[in-house]
Every structure is written in C-alpha cells, then in structure tokens.
Amino acid sequence: MPRLVDLTRTMDPENRALVHESFKALETVVAPKIHYMSPDGEGRTRMMDIFGCEPGDLPDGEGWGEDMLSDMNTHCGTHVDAPLHSGRLIEGRPARTLSDITLEELFRPGMVLDVREWVEPGTAIPIDALEAAVKATGREIEEGDAVLIRTGQERYTMADVEYYDYPGMSGDGTRFLTSRGARILGTDALAWDRPFRVMREAFERTGDPKEIWDGHFAVRDREAFIVQQMTNLEALPLTGFTVGFFPLKLPRTSAAPARAVAFLED
C-alpha cells in the first residue's frame, strides 16, 4: 500500500479575510464563499420543507447537513489549468479543455525541482537553476513527467505580502521543461508566471509584449498542464514517486480545482 501525501491547499473561506489588502481581487482564486446549513438548523428546515415533516419525525430532531458554494473561480485553490487557459490554439490545433484531459494524463511519475537556493522574489527562475535542480534529482526529465517546482513559498501565509511576490517561470524556463518531456508543470507559488505587477512593470519599461504572461503562453508551443497553489512539497523526495491530480469534472472549462496527491512506495 503506497503512502499518500496530500499536496492540496485547503480552500478555507476564512483565508479570504487573510488576503493582503493590496490583493483583494484574488479572493475568488483562494477559496469560495461557503454557506453552511447544519443538521439542527437550515438543513433540518430543508428536509421539513421537502418531506412535509416536523422535527419530531427526524432522528434526534435533526435533518441533513448541506453547504452552498459561491463566488468561486475555476482557478480556485490547488487547480489544474487546461491548455485552453493559454489560448484557443495549442501547437496549432484547437486547445483542449479540462473535460478533454484523461485521468491517465494527470497520473504521472513526479519529480521535485528544489530551486530555493537560486531564486529571488518577484523574478524569473533562471534556467541554470532548473538545470541544477534537475541534476540534483539524479535523473533526467522523461516524457510525460510531472515536474513540481519548489520555490519556498511555504514559508508565507496569505496575510504576508511576500506570499504575492513569488519567483515565477518565464517562457524560456517553461520551454526548457516541456522540450524535455514535462507535461505537468506544478508550483507551490500562487501562480506559474512572475507576479502580474512585475510583468506589467517590465512591459511598461520595455514595450516588449513577450513580458506578458510568457510562462503560460509558452504552452501554446508545446502542450502542458499547469498546476498552481500546491503545498507540502517538502514532504516529497526529489523523485521516485507518482503524483495524481484529480480535478472536478467540469465541462469545457479552462481549469478546475483539484485534489493533488503523491503516492510513495515504502
């Protein structure tokens, strides 16, 4: 029986209140709003309305528990980006949506690239850092691998401004991984690319459109599935495990929240 390691962030509505005041627009990608209906409250009322019964007709006078989710982005919490998130054409063909991706494609051998030694906040992760991190695993990236980038963002909470100033991937860095066969690209950071603020400042300074979301747009050249907001990567070995991503089964969407789990053989 393999040992399971949960790599998924809890989509706790209380975390919405922790989001730094400068980044309140990100609340919908942190957690949904949840309206809880308890068995001794609204859950009971719902059952009474449906069955035409009274509290005394129910075990211990209780109904069911029920919850309503709202104000939630498909890119909420730990989630899988379908190729459509990067554009309508991928490798010159119509982009696949989430419902086009099979579970087999999301259950792959994994490796952790620990780049903490070489990265700086708000900057692109250097390719030589990726090369060194691959070398540290003791093997090369193989076709179909899930490559998980450990940037060290586990040090911060959503209340810390540093949480939003994460190291990110450039287009060249993304192509470095996909050209070697990586098909799942995971990160413990809030997003795959550099922070939006950093990319906008670079574009305003240089006028170069390649500064805009270049990590995600690189998927247009070679298909891959990006997974953001992972956690607990420190619990994994650098390689020798399988990782599975199990997204909500939504039709035709560009992403879905997922349960990310690593499977380690004892």
pTM: 0.96
Beta strands in 41-165 (DSSP E): 66-70, 79-81, 89-90, 93-94, 107-114, 146-150
The predicted-structure confidence for 46-92, as pLDDT tens digits, reads as follows 999 999 999 999 999 999 999 999 999 999 999 999 999 999 999 99
Q: What is the CATH number of the domain that holds 216?
A: 3.50.30.50
β-bridge partners, 4: 263
Q: Is residue 5 part of a domain?
A: no
> Residue 266 has what pLDDT?
76
The DSSP secondary-structure symbol of 65 reads -
Cα–Cα distance between 13 and 32 in angstroms, integer?
Answer: 6
Q: By the 8 A CB rule, do 173 and 130 touch?
A: yes
> Domain containing 124: what range?
79-264
The DSSP secondary-structure symbol of 230 reads B
Residues 6+ apart with CB under 8 A from 218: 86, 171, 172, 174, 175, 178
Q: By the 8 A CB rule, do 144 and 108 touch?
A: yes
> How far, rounded to the nearest angstrom, does the alpha carbon of residue 238 sit from its chain's CA centroid?
19
Query: Do 101 and 188 fall within a single domain?
Result: yes
Query: Do 55 and 89 fall within a single domain?
Result: no
Sign of CA dihedral 89, 90, 91, 93: negative
Query: Do 49 and 172 fall within a single domain?
Result: no
Query: Do 116 and 215 fall within a single domain?
Result: yes
Query: Do 42 and 160 fall within a single domain?
Result: no
Look over the chain and give the mean of its residue pLDDT values, rounded to a whole number: 97
Q: Is residue 118 part of a domain?
A: yes
Cα–Cα distance between 167 and 103 in angstroms, integer?
Answer: 29
Cα–Cα distance between 258 and 266 in angstroms, integer?
Answer: 25
Query: Do 44 and 136 fall within a single domain?
Result: no
The predicted-structure confidence for 228-238, as pLDDT tens digits, reads as follows 999 999 999 99
The predicted-structure confidence for 29-41, as pLDDT tens digits, reads as follows 999 999 999 999 9
Query: Do 153 and 89 fall within a single domain?
Result: yes
Q: Is residue 158 part of a domain?
A: yes
> Residue 206 has what pLDDT?
97
